Amino acid sequence: MTAVARPHPHPSEADGPFEQFIYAPMVMADLDAVYAIEQVVYPHPWSRGNFVDSLAAGYSAWTLRDGAELLGYFLLMGVLDEAHLLNVSVAAPRQGQGIGRYLLGKVGACARGLGAHSVLLEVRPSNQRALAVYARHGFVEIGRRKNYYPAHDGLREEAIVMRFSL
């Protein structure tokens, strides 16, 4: 299910320094910019087809822009009373500025709107920066998935499964 909403150039006072950014549903026209970020920030990025399929499936997909510049995005799948964070990314030059934390706040709000009581995600153990951001946001490890992610030289990397209770 996708939340239907208009772009939010001024989402709320709680957005602080991010209030000038535009938070809006992801549309097909966003995919070139989304795919470009994906190629830079992940060693094993999603394919363009993954994004097309996610939008076609009706997953909640959102972007954050500063004018025309795409800062980041996320895709969230609602399943019963849980939401699964499929992908969240911040443009490489804008990392370390709090945008990831801001997007995680939006993930929680979106998940609540879907009727979820928690948000699940998988993350590579090697992605220490993301693990730190998730932990600071309140996500806790609840398990591991062996051989989940592709890695270099045909090897596989496990995933850490994390949950955030809403």
- What is the number of other CB atoms lying within 10 angstroms of the CB of residue 146? 8
The residues carrying an active-site annotation are: 122, 134
Tens digit of each residue's pLDDT (9 = 90 or more) over 131-141: 999 999 999 99
> pTM score, two decimals?
0.86
Tens digit of each residue's pLDDT (9 = 90 or more) over 21-76: 999 999 999 999 999 999 999 988 999 999 999 999 999 999 999 999 999 999 99
Edge to edge, the sheet with strand 156-165 lists 22-25, 60-66, 69-79, 82-90, 118-123, 156-165, 140-150
140-150 and 118-123 as β-strands: parallel, antiparallel, unpaired?
Answer: unpaired
Tens digit of each residue's pLDDT (9 = 90 or more) over 80-113: 999 999 999 999 999 999 999 999 999 999 999 9
Q: Which domains does the chain have, with CATH numbers?
A: 13-117 (3.40.630.30)
Q: Using CB atoms within 10 A of its CB, is residue 101 exposed (0-12), middle (13-18) or buried (19+)?
A: middle
Tens digit of each residue's pLDDT (9 = 90 or more) over 111-160: 999 999 999 999 999 999 999 999 999 999 999 999 888 887 778 989 99
